Amino acid sequence: MQFLRLDGNDLTAPVKDEKRLAGRLAGVLRQLDELLALNIATAVDFTGSEREERAPDYPLTALQQITRNAVMHRSYEHTNTPVRITWYADRVEVVNPGGPFGIVNTANFGTGVTDYRNPALADLMRSFGYVQRFGAGIPVAKRSLSANHNPEPSFEVTPTHVAVTVRRRS
């Protein structure tokens, strides 16, 4: 996996941080969770009510579901392209090589219909506790974003890749 944090809204912005995650699956997923949590900013408002209110710019659950889906559903054949996470000032983009697979197509993508390029990887992620229920990742991410008052994520689904854009909470 490749992580790039930029101080702006396009690829020409100054780089704030860059990481490459590689190694054993459990270690990579653990590093990914830590990296996501470290990059989420939490706003604190103590003027609008009796108690302070805290709101993250992105809900961790949504980013975890989207990035874990990218790892599980990416194509590992005929490409050396890593899963890319690009964290801009106003959004997070996750791109993984490989489009829909098997019975999943552009029409039913994200509705809970599932198929697996690598069932062993899916089973391994489930046994490690990184997948709770197959087919629930995108609906859980959408619900988490909505509850946090983030815009709904956008998806670009092509035969060669899937890109997800998550916008910062306003």
pLDDT at 156: 96
- For residue 25, the SS3 value is helix
Range name among 69-78, 84-93, 126-135, 156-165 with the lowest pLDDT average: 126-135
The pLDDT tens digits of the residues spanning 103-127 come to: 999 888 888 888 888 889 988 998 9
Q: How far is CA 3 from CA 32, 83, 113, in A?
A: 9, 9, 28
The residues spanned by each domain of the chain are: 2-167
- 2-167 CATH, one of 3.40.50.150, 3.40.50.970, 3.30.565.60, 3.40.50.1820: 3.30.565.60
What is the tens place of the pLDDT at every residue in 7-62? 999 999 999 999 999 999 999 999 999 999 999 999 877 776 777 777 899 999 99
Kindly indicate the confidence band of residue 133, based on its pLDDT and cuts at 50, 70 and 90. Answer: low
Helix (H, G, I), strand (E, B) or coil at 66: helix
In this prediction the pTM is 0.91
